[in-house]
Structure 1
Amino acid sequence: MDRFDAMRAFSRVVEAGSFTKAAQTLQMSKTTVTQLVQQLEARLRVKLLHRTTRKLSVTPDGAAYYERVVRLLADMDDAETSLSSAAAAPKGRLRVDVPSPLARLVLVPALPAFHARYPDIQFDMGVSDRMVDLIGDNVDCVVRGGEITDQSLMARHVGDLQIGAYAAPSYVERLGAPEHPREMENTDHRIVGFMHPRTGMVEPRTMHCGNERIEVKSRYVLAVDDGNAYLEAGLAGLGVLWLPTYMAAAHQARGELIPVFEQWRFDPMPLYVAFSPNRHVSAKLRVFIDWIVELMKKPVPRANGEPLHPYLL
């Protein structure tokens, strides 16, 4: 038995909550993972896990051992990456989950430059706006706009996205361009709703102009839970959109979206990289986070390739 392989297998079983998920993330067979944990228990002469056909739980001894194993594995990873060659060239698989518009418009187009700098980092990128179980889904980090409400996560604030209000020309031709946020209430005006991934509710937007601050509650024809679908609904004229400017830039330049409420401002949307405190922040994750910070400071390109404005405030 390789003790470190057994420790990794045990820690992953605890984090994933099952031998099957742990085996998948370790790219081992379930039988191998089970044998490693059994061999570890035999060596330690303690039961680390309670196993039944329906449920897996950690024993008190297993919980105490897990806490020490996590630190030991993190220290070992630190020792390897602290070597000059490893620190200069981080490598390995990095599992991330990012919103679909951010992936399509910002991260994926910029990845060739990242790959040229760090050729030995391999991405497994989930593209979604869903809630992600970082441990159960074996994800190293998620990138999300908006406040991180899960207090169990560590999060690094990487910037603040500019937000604007936009409507398609077809919408403006049909209903006119609203000038005051109150026009969105109890009239024929509509928004495109975006459903919160945790609650499934469409939350109101707050706008301010001088000392006036208004929480806009409007009806909608369609509400969605995906950023790309949200944008397409706005382009189809189904309602007013509240968009990060990086999503609207090219469409605005082509005349496909028209800014509305231009005298009004939105609070910026914070952008975070969140990760589990039980996961070691590896060299590859550190350079990925630093790259996002660097990337979001660059200007949004126009449709013709000219810079428009920065992604962040």
Structure 2
Amino acid sequence: MDRFESMRIFTRIVELGSFTKAGEELGFPKATVTHAIKQLEARLRVRLLHRTTRQVTATLDGDAYYRRCMRLLADLEETENIFSEAAVNPAGKLRIDMHGTLGMHFVMPVLPQFCERYPNIELEIGMGDRLIDLVRESVDCVLRVGELRDSSMVARRVGTLEQVTCASPAYLKKYGIPQTPAELEQHRGVNFFSSQTGKAFPFDFIEDGKQTSYQLKGSVSINNADAYAACCTNGFGLIQVPRYHVEEALQQAKLQEILAGFRPDPMPVAVLYPHHRQLSPRVRVFVDWMAEIFAKAH
């Protein structure tokens, strides 16, 4: 087994925390994986991994070696892509993840176009609202909405989503239509809370050129986008969402936009991917395609 293959095995063991899982993903028996690591440690004369019955973790030397391996493997992939057909005709499996409502609205209706353009790419799509570990879960890239806080990932903005504040006609008939954000103290909101922190997201507005945030009282808090909109339709209070998610309800007068003159800034949409995937032809064409999709959506 050559050194680069040994590096690939080692990096996947570190990322997955398991000899067995790394072997299954790479198509090697566990015995082959174990032998490769023993040879690698013998050649380097250092211990790279801590092994227990429950998990496998990198030693300090192993962590340093892992980081160097990732740079070398990325450089190798880039070099091979420059001189291979993959640069112009990407092929292989592309694992992506995206928010369910975003994917269903923007991606799934036009997905056949991507498959027709790149017939040799096999897509594996995950949909949900949880944050995933791209490296550990072997995901190539994710489509996300909102301000990005993970500096360990490469991020390319592909679009923006206009936000609107809405309420049902029945709610507005009962409580009145607020004319300024300051009047929200007299109103109720459906609060959308973070699955990670448990905290409710505030309602944001632009007043006199500056962003202001308000926390509204309410009887319902939720962390599912469809249920969030349904609560509003059923009169539980105000919500603030990307327009696309309630466009049909607005057109059918099931919901009504309020405070349109104080709309918050559009929410950014970006594709995130690990640094070692930034030169992958499959990731590159998917990111470019997503930029096309959101450009046409506006």
Please report the TM-score for the alignment, with normalisation by the length of structure 1: 0.85
> Which residue is equivalent to 1:256?
254
Q: Does 1:292 align with 2:290?
A: yes
Which residue identity does 1:206 align to in structure 2? D
Q: Distance in 1 between matches of 2:200 and 2:290?
A: 28
Q: Secondary structure at the match of 2:260?
A: coil
Kept in 1: contact 2:78–2:279 (CA 8 A): no
> Which residue is equivalent to 1:246?
244
Kept in 2: contact 1:21–1:136 (CA 8 A): no
> Which residue is equivalent to 2:268?
270
Please report the TM-score for the alignment, with normalisation by the length of structure 2: 0.88
Identity %: 41
Kept in 1: contact 2:271–2:287 (CA 8 A): yes
Q: Does 1:192 align with 2:211?
A: no
Gaps of 5+ in 1: 300-309
Q: Distance in 2 between matches of 1:112 and 1:244?
A: 25
Q: Per the alignment, do residues 211 and 115 of structure 1 end up closer, same or farther by CA in structure 2, a change over 3 Å counting?
A: closer
Ranked by relative contact order (alpha carbons within 8 Å, sequence separation 6 or more), the top structure is 2
Q: Per the alignment, do residues 202 and 23 of structure 1 end up closer, same or farther by CA in structure 2, a change over 3 Å counting?
A: farther
Q: Map of 1:7-46 to 2, 5 A cutoff? A: 7-23=7-23, 25-26=25-26, 30-46=30-46
> Which residue is equivalent to 1:53?
53
Q: Per the alignment, do residues 93 and 228 of structure 1 end up closer, same or farther by CA in structure 2, a change over 3 Å counting?
A: farther
Q: Secondary structure at the match of 2:74?
A: helix
> Which residue is equivalent to 1:304?
none
Q: Distance in 2 between matches of 1:195 and 1:110?
A: 31
Q: CA deviation at 1:268?
A: 1.9
Kept in 2: contact 1:129–1:227 (CA 8 A): no
Aligned residues: 298
Q: CA deviation at 1:21?
A: 4.3
Moved over 6 A (4+): none
> Which residue is equivalent to 1:125?
125
Q: Secondary structure at the match of 1:157?
A: strand
Gaps of 5+ in 2: none
Q: Distance in 1 between matches of 2:251 and 2:101?
A: 18
> Which residue is equivalent to 2:281?
283
Kept in 2: contact 1:179–1:261 (CA 8 A): yes
Q: CA deviation at 1:274?
A: 1.6
Kept in 2: contact 1:81–1:90 (CA 8 A): no
Kept in 2: contact 1:100–1:228 (CA 8 A): no
Q: Distance in 2 between matches of 1:270 and 1:155?
A: 11
Which residue identity does 1:235 align to in structure 2? T
Q: Distance in 1 between matches of 2:125 and 2:115?
A: 14
> Which residue is equivalent to 1:6?
6
Kept in 1: contact 2:154–2:278 (CA 8 A): no
Q: Secondary structure at the match of 1:228?
A: helix
Kept in 2: contact 1:93–1:121 (CA 8 A): yes
Q: Deviations over 1:1-49 (max 9, x none)?
A: 3543322111111123333443454455545433432343345444221
Q: Per the alignment, do residues 31 and 162 of structure 1 end up closer, same or farther by CA in structure 2, a change over 3 Å counting?
A: farther
Q: Distance in 1 between matches of 2:285 and 2:215?
A: 40
Q: Per the alignment, do residues 239 and 21 of structure 1 end up closer, same or farther by CA in structure 2, a change over 3 Å counting?
A: farther
Larger relative helix fraction: 2
Q: Per the alignment, do residues 190 and 5 of structure 1 end up closer, same or farther by CA in structure 2, a change over 3 Å counting?
A: same
Q: Deviations over 1:264-291 (max 9, x none)?
A: 2212212222222344531111111111
Q: Does 1:78 align with 2:78?
A: yes
Q: Deviations over 1:167-188 (max 9, x none)?
A: 2334334433333223322x3x
Which residue identity does 2:7 align to in structure 1? M
Q: Per the alignment, do residues 239 and 122 of structure 1 end up closer, same or farther by CA in structure 2, a change over 3 Å counting?
A: farther
Which residue identity does 2:150 align to in structure 1? D
What RMSD in Å do the two structures reach over aligned CA positions?
2.4
Q: Distance in 2 between matches of 1:211 and 1:7?
A: 53
